[in-house]
Chains A and B, each alone.
Chain A
């Protein structure tokens, strides 16, 4: 019999990862710890472990996404899983098949994990309710993008050693951002102080009740910040008429070297990508010493490996228990 690992031991029993809302502080920390060991794997010459050998991961992406899908694909492959990518253009979803039916078909193919990206908030949890295989939320509407927040938090922790007590600013379109919502949930659970910063029209009602402070003054927000997470401005979202003009947004909220000069010297600058250079931040900042944007991408693999590994493990446990 093997001895149980000493640190942070936990039996993971959640078959799905739908959001950070339903995770406890301990569960979030456990995923981060698990991700640390997988990060070590990605530094080896042979970056592959057999943890998910014989498992099938299906990436079901209803929204265009290169970054997240590729990250999940790489993560699954490094765990030796087989990966299938389904996108609306290449499948029957265009023919009006419902999400649940698509999910059931994937389940019938004996896949083990569905990684789903969908433009409807709650889509991942709906799928999870109807399926017995694992569902990992890769972004649902404006609701949650748990693995993005986990990799953001992982990166922060790696850089600053802890999360508790940190001042983190999230700047951008908070209203329509699942990245913001997941980050708020994760960071506040781990004891960080979160300030959200945006023009008033991009702040959703009663957001303070999620435990954050709100401001429309980026310079004020950056003053004591240990990190700033800069959201992508989706100007293509034209339906919400009252969107700010691009240059005006950059002038009032864009992260520039001048703004960073007034902030803490070692402030961490994050961005979930893809960047609109010259809109959310200047190129100097994106490529500068405070930026950890590419490290986020690398860490995304480790975090997603951890998530896939844990939900698969939970499945196996459920199967043993019957």
Chain B
């Protein structure tokens, strides 16, 4: 199948391209990128006034399968991703059972092969059952295809163990992705510690619980001389610590999520459990620092931390509700609305944060529109407005923190591995 995308404004940071071009997709690869491609195609997409981006690489997604298929499956999650422009995603290992053995990994690979609608890369746990006690067989798991290790949802408390994991990861050329939270400090908190927790009468999660762990993990990475990635950065101090480390030449990368730059803890005051996630929404000051970090490159990537939960687990007392929000279907539009339309980032910056950089961090061949690479790309209307509505979400779970929000920028086509995998219908 040949697809010709005509006259789109092509954004490709890998090749520093931002101009109106045609793209020809052939045999699941990008075969030509130039002006006025004269070629017959099975399908021609008129992309005049549209933006063409490399498909998003979302490096933080909870697909819940195996174990919690009522929340999401590999099939439903990848479909939701395609709707949001995500053609490649990184599945977190906190499934049930955790992805901590070759056996579970094989099972997940099999499900992906059978049911995934987009490209799925897999992480394994750092420690068995994510208990922080005993390392998984990282070398073996790497051989079987994982691209990163993480105990996401938890931090590895034991320093020696994490140091050992970092050393192995370095040798195996695999990424260590850290959820930074010192639970002895965050305790049973549920919202940002400060005026918000005081007003709401809820236990607070201090910023220290995050940034102290960011600081520690970076130190360990420095000691092991291994790359490290800090996931879902939410506060100013974390950004500052990462900036310092980068300045010193430590191999640290980081990501944040749309909710940390689009919402502050003021959003949680109505006890809406769709505003409850971990780390929590922080102060306006922190939101500003996150934006600045994105602008100046301290924060390399934007990921969704897509965390589906059923209504039964969300529509209950605030302190008892699960942490987490979905994000695959909204992350691109939120980023366009909050970062590009506001002039903070250029389209090239955006494609870097959401596609090229995460691919580089994970050392996978994605995130570009170079000739000969996999044809993963998005055609989007930059100014089209739409409202996030529950009934239009295709994820199995509906716990979005952007429900009711008007966003500007919508995906018209998602092409994944050379096929039109999603098309806006209205």
Contacts and interface: CB of A to CB of B under 8 A. Distances in A.
Given A120-B319, A206-B195, 20 more contacts: A21-B199, A100-B316, A118-B317, A120-B317, A120-B320, A121-B201, A122-B200, A122-B271, A122-B319, A125-B271, A126-B271, A141-B201, A141-B319, A142-B201, A178-B201, A204-B197, A205-B197, A205-B198, A206-B194, A209-B195
B343 interface: no
Interface in B287-329: 312, 315-320
B317 A205 contact: no
Contact of A121 (B193, B200, B270, B312): B200
Contacts of A143: 200-202
B227 interface: no
Closest A-B pairs by Cβ, 8 of them: A142-B201, A122-B271, A143-B201, A120-B317, A206-B195, A121-B201, A204-B198, A122-B318
A205 B194 contact: yes
Contacts of A121: 200-202, 271, 318-319
A263 interface: no
Contacts of B201: 121, 140-144, 178, 181
A122 B198 CA distance: 13
A207 B200 CA distance: 11
Nearest to B270: A125
A139 to B, nearest CB: 10
B204 interface: yes
A206 B319 CA distance: 21
Interface of B: 193-195, 197-202, 204, 270-271, 312, 315-320
10 contacts: A98-B312, A99-B316, A121-B271, A122-B200, A125-B271, A181-B201, A204-B198, A206-B195, A206-B198, A209-B195
A205 B271 contact: no
B270 A100 contact: no
Nearest to A207: B198
A125 B199 CA distance: 14
A289 interface: no
B318 A120 contact: yes
Given A121-B202, A141-B202, A126 B194 contact: no
Given A99-B317, A121-B318, A125-B271, A142 B202 contact: yes
B316 A98 contact: yes
Interface of A: 21, 98-100, 118, 120-123, 125-126, 140-144, 178, 181, 204-207, 209-210
Contacts of A120: 317-320
Given A205-B193, A205-B204, A123 B317 contact: yes
Contacts of B315: 100
A262 to B, nearest CB: 30
B252 to A, nearest CB: 30
**Residue of A123, A125, A206, A207 contacting most chain B CB atoms (<10 Å):** A206
A24 B176 CA distance: 52
**Residue of A21, A99, A205 contacting most chain B CB atoms (<10 Å):** A205
A178 B193 CA distance: 17
Contacts of A140: 201
Contacts of A205: 193-195, 197-198, 204
A71 B315 CA distance: 31
A120 B315 CA distance: 13
B272 to A, nearest CB: 9
Contacts of B204: 205
Contacts of A125: 270-271
B160 to A, nearest CB: 28
B50 to A, nearest CB: 40
Contacts of A99: 316-317
A140 B319 CA distance: 12
Contacts of A178: 201
Contacts of A204: 197-198
Given A181-B201, A205-B204, A126 B195 contact: no
Given A205-B193, A206-B194, A209-B195, A126 B202 contact: no
Nearest to B191: A121
Nearest to A140: B201
Nearest to B190: A121
B175 to A, nearest CB: 36
Nearest to A121: B201
A210 B198 contact: yes
A126 B193 contact: no
Contacts of B320: 120
B397 to A, nearest CB: 18
A145 B259 CA distance: 32
A129 B315 CA distance: 11
**Residue of B197, B317, B320 contacting most chain A CB atoms (<10 Å):** B317
A178 B200 CA distance: 10
A209 B198 CA distance: 10
Nearest to A143: B201
A151 to B, nearest CB: 20
Nearest to A239: B188
Contacts of B200: 121-122, 143
**Residue of A98, A121, A123, A206 contacting most chain B CB atoms (<10 Å):** A121
A100 B199 CA distance: 23
B207 to A, nearest CB: 11
Contacts of A142: 201-202
A205 B207 CA distance: 13
A101 to B, nearest CB: 10
A62 to B, nearest CB: 10
Contacts of B202: 121-122, 141-143
A122 B194 contact: no
Contacts of B194: 205-206
Contacts of B312: 98
A210 B200 CA distance: 12
Contacts of A21: 199
A144 B315 CA distance: 21
B126 to A, nearest CB: 30
Contacts of A207: 198
Nearest to A141: B201
A181 B204 CA distance: 16
A232 B318 CA distance: 25
B317 A126 contact: yes
A210 B201 CA distance: 13
A270 B132 CA distance: 51
A189 to B, nearest CB: 14
Contacts of A144: 201
Nearest to B315: A100
A65 B198 CA distance: 24
A179 B180 CA distance: 36
A98 B316 CA distance: 7
B317 A122 contact: yes
A99 B312 CA distance: 12
A141 B198 CA distance: 12
